[in-house]
Structure 1
Amino acid sequence: MEKLVIVRFGELTVKRGYTRLEMERLLTRAAEEAARECGGAKFEKEPGRLYARGDVECLKKALSRVFGVKSVSPAHAAEFTELSDIATHAKQIWGDLVTGRRFAVRAHRVGDHPFKSLDVAAAVGSALATSGGSVDLEKPEVELYVEVRGKRAYYYTEVLEGPGGLPLGSEGKVLALVSGGIDSPVAAWMLMRRGAHVDVFYCNLGGTLALLHALEVVRRLLSWSYGYNARVVVADCGPVARALRRGVKEELWNIAFKRALYKIGAEAAKRVKATALVTGESLGQVSSQTLQALAAVEAGIGTPVLRPLIGMDKDEIVKIAQRIGTYEASVKMPEYCAVFSRKPRKWARREEIEEIDLALHDAIAEVANSARMVKKRELEEFVKSLSPPRDLEIDAPPSDAVVVDLRDEEAYRGWHLPGAIRTDVDDVLTLVDRLGRDKTYVFYCYSGGLSLDVAESLRKIGIKAYSLRLWRTSSPNQTRDSTSQTDKYTDL
């Protein structure tokens, strides 16, 4: 008798001919990579399934994350010559488990045998009843599964659900625009689940700490991409943010910035040879995700845009994010608010789109040309190479610090920290030069991303600057406009 893991194939079992053979090859390759996390495994293949021998407890978890896998079960396996052997083995495995408990035996049989599945269930049930258990097919405390295939029987009690879908690599390649927020990693995962190789594009606006947060989300996402050394394209989108604030009407910032992302993403897609872009947009969730806004954003891009979340609500998306392991990292992602309008327009005229493209053309080209590409297996070393300033975030400003509010004038008038002065992000250096570079500066904004970026930029030129940690600028009795509050880059 031996222990192993049963790996059951899902949707690919309805495929035929070369397509099925290729999908099985891709799934097996992904399973082999997943098994390396457990010290490797020896695989045996049967129609519609794999058997993996090795560290069973580790393998059951790793293999349940392979796309194309319907379910996995850690099992005992033993050969038999007659029905009584199956019953004897079941008693050896489960005798102690069923003592004093109600149990049910679920039997399944494949192949030619002188008995039926019901005979297997009856024989095993009778044998286990002698161990002090009682059969209860309606409300059992324990369900016991026996699969008879050829001359071997498999015994298990646990069925772990896999992601299902199609094996990774069976449906071409796409580039996911991942912001680090909740939605876009889920969208990328859903394309993986449909068999696409997914590369990732991240547009950084918030300095090194924001980049580290985003890369942690990406790392968790790509932990599912067994069998593919995905590429991560990282771009510094600061030039786009500056050009947008200078040359685009504020009410169009949301549409303009997202349009710039699409254009940069389209260039990155050519670089990695991806066929389409993937975004996390859900229809109507925020102002830049109305039909009119999406039409304005996508007009003339030239690269197909896939939106797997378009008909889902936020609760559904959050549940998937929690399941795939990205949620906890995503909610820690600081949001960058300096390119998002408080009163965003939900549409744009053709001539306004042309004006946006003209205003951002050079910045888009600069960002696209300077983007850096890192492969999944190089990601850990890349993260280690990033060195954010120490103690950049603080919980309270020092008594002698100049406290600077980076929000807009309306928000500042409504409420601000006592003694804080307000400035626009583009005027920070002018303010510092006027007040003195020898002072300590503490910045806050709507959600932390912008203040982190400003503080880090000042540190690089020798100025003592900080960002208030996890700052929320609304007072307890005050909330921001619901549309502008949520219409952030993290909703991509």
Structure 2
Amino acid sequence: MAQYDGIVIHFGEIWLKGGNRNSFILMLYDNIKCSLRDEHYARLENARDRFFLETDKKSDLESIESKLSKVFGISWFAPAVVSESSLGSILKAANALLSKKDTVRIVPNRALKTLSFNSADVVTHFIKNSDKLNFKIDKDAKRDLYVSITKNRAFIYDRKIQGAKGLPVGSSGNAVVLFSGGIDSPVAAYYAMKRGLHPVYLHVHAFQNNDDEKLSKIRDLAKHLSAYSCGSVLYCVPGHVFQSSAMRIPRRYELVMFKLFMHRLAERIAKKERAECIVTGESLGQVASQTLSNLTTSQQGIKPLIMRPLIGFDKQEIINVASQIGTFEMSIIKYRDV
């Protein structure tokens, strides 16, 4: 296995920001450090258009890659070998990364246009010195060797790992997430985080007190999702607070009134947590309480914006995402609903 010098980390959508771009970059920097707080590495460098995570001998590359893949705001990242920005040094670094069994296509990128050579010169240099290479080069090879050259150094890597994309969690503020423990609400939380919202979870349970709820799957789900947000807050409320009042409500209105109760509860928590919106896992028409008229009724008088990231999803699409992010199996564990 190749000995990498570190991991080069690129951000996509953030680079499209205007005058506030730097604040997004700094927030992503902090989120990466938070995500890797239990990992060994030498340092995390902010190199303007990318980050470079310098690793050391104690670094667990597989564990670091897994955690980076859950940090929203990262477009892609790659374990890399670092060299000086001269053609000779780049060739030497490539030899250290690859072996005789490897056949690659050279994909150069010259970030600094004032260098004495261009991208075509990089490819030409590899071709002219092919007898000195530990590996083979072929313009039609299915595997790429990337050479990214900056002012003082070059990053050489042979694979790109897709990041979570989106915006850094927290860059859009806080959101109260109505958290049922079913399939939908964890997926809604995931998409809210992807757009930069930091989650404050609200769960209304059927137990008599919160001590009984502590043994349920809810905390496991929240903990699992916290890998995407570097921690979160969970509010748990006994459902009998609503049930004692619901006895006077005609049964046909009970679901809608329960939804309104949760919205009002979320509104109070939003004020406390300085959250500007409420996030739900509702999908239009999926069940009776999610018809257009019932959705409208359940949000009457609620001041914070109610966001429904899954409004246009069908159930199978939601299940697919839940499986992808690792919440599906926990969500289908039997649970006592309110």
> What is the TM-score when the length of structure 2 is the normalising length?
0.88
Q: Which residue of 2 aligns with 1:61?
A: 66
For residues 130 and 333 of structure 2, the distance between their equivalents in structure 1, rounded to whole angstroms, comes to 51
For residues 285 and 139 of structure 1, the distance between their equivalents in structure 2, rounded to whole angstroms, comes to 47
Q: Which residue of 1 aligns with 2:25?
A: 24
For residues 121 and 330 of structure 2, the distance between their equivalents in structure 1, rounded to whole angstroms, comes to 51
Q: Which residue of 1 aligns with 2:239?
A: 237
Q: Which residue of 1 aligns with 2:218?
A: 214
CA spacing shift, 1:76–1:132, aligned 2, 3 Å: closer
The DSSP-based 3-state class of the residue aligned with 1:223 is helix
Determine if the alignment matches structure 1 residue 149 to structure 2 residue 150: yes
Q: Which residue of 1 aligns with 2:286?
A: 285
The DSSP-based 3-state class of the residue aligned with 1:69 is coil
Offset of residue 151 of structure 1: 3.0
Instruction: Give the number of the structure whose alpha-carbon radius of gyration is greater.
Output: 1
The DSSP-based 3-state class of the residue aligned with 1:285 is coil
Give 2:99's aligned amino acid: G
Give 2:72's aligned amino acid: F
CA spacing shift, 1:332–1:125, aligned 2, 3 Å: farther
Offset of residue 125 of structure 1: 5.3
- For 1:79-98, list aligned pairs within 5 A: 79-81=84-86, 83-98=87-102
Give 2:330's aligned amino acid: A
Give 2:66's aligned amino acid: K
Q: Which residue of 2 aligns with 1:412?
A: none
Give 1:240's aligned amino acid: F
User: Could you list the per-position Cα deviations for residues 237-280 of structure 1 after superposition, in whole angstroms to 9, with x for gaps in the alignment?
Assistant: 12313432x22222222212222211222122222221111101
- For 1:6-405, list aligned pairs within 5 A: 6-17=8-19, 19-54=20-55, 55=59, 56-81=61-86, 83-98=87-102, 102-111=103-112, 112-124=114-126, 127=129, 134-138=136-140, 140=142, 142-206=143-207, 208=212, 212-226=216-230, 229-244=231-246, 246-336=247-337
User: Could you list the per-position Cα deviations for residues 194-244 of structure 1 after superposition, in whole angstroms to 9, with x for gaps in the alignment?
Assistant: 112221111111563686201111111122113xx5321111112313432
Offset of residue 23 of structure 1: 1.1
User: Could you list the per-position Cα deviations for residues 320-369 of structure 1 after superposition, in whole angstroms to 9, with x for gaps in the alignment?
Assistant: 22232222211215252xx6xxxxxxxxxxxxxxxxxxxxxxxxxxxxxx
For residues 325 and 40 of structure 1, the distance between their equivalents in structure 2, rounded to whole angstroms, comes to 27
- Is the Cα contact below 8 Å between 2:174 and 2:275 reproduced in 1? yes
For CA contacts below 8 A with separation 6 or more, give which structure has more relative contact order: 2
Offset of residue 126 of structure 1: 5.7
Aligned positions, number: 328
For residues 45 and 87 of structure 1, the distance between their equivalents in structure 2, rounded to whole angstroms, comes to 26
Gaps of 5+ in 1: 340-492
- Is the Cα contact below 8 Å between 1:3 and 1:53 reproduced in 2? yes
For residues 285 and 90 of structure 1, the distance between their equivalents in structure 2, rounded to whole angstroms, comes to 54
For residues 334 and 225 of structure 2, the distance between their equivalents in structure 1, rounded to whole angstroms, comes to 15
RMSD: 2.3
User: Could you list the per-position Cα deviations for residues 81-137 of structure 1 after superposition, in whole angstroms to 9, with x for gaps in the alignment?
Assistant: 3x2332232123213341xxx422222111122222133234335656766855444
Structure with the higher fraction of residues in helix conformation: 1
> What is the TM-score when the length of structure 1 is the normalising length?
0.62
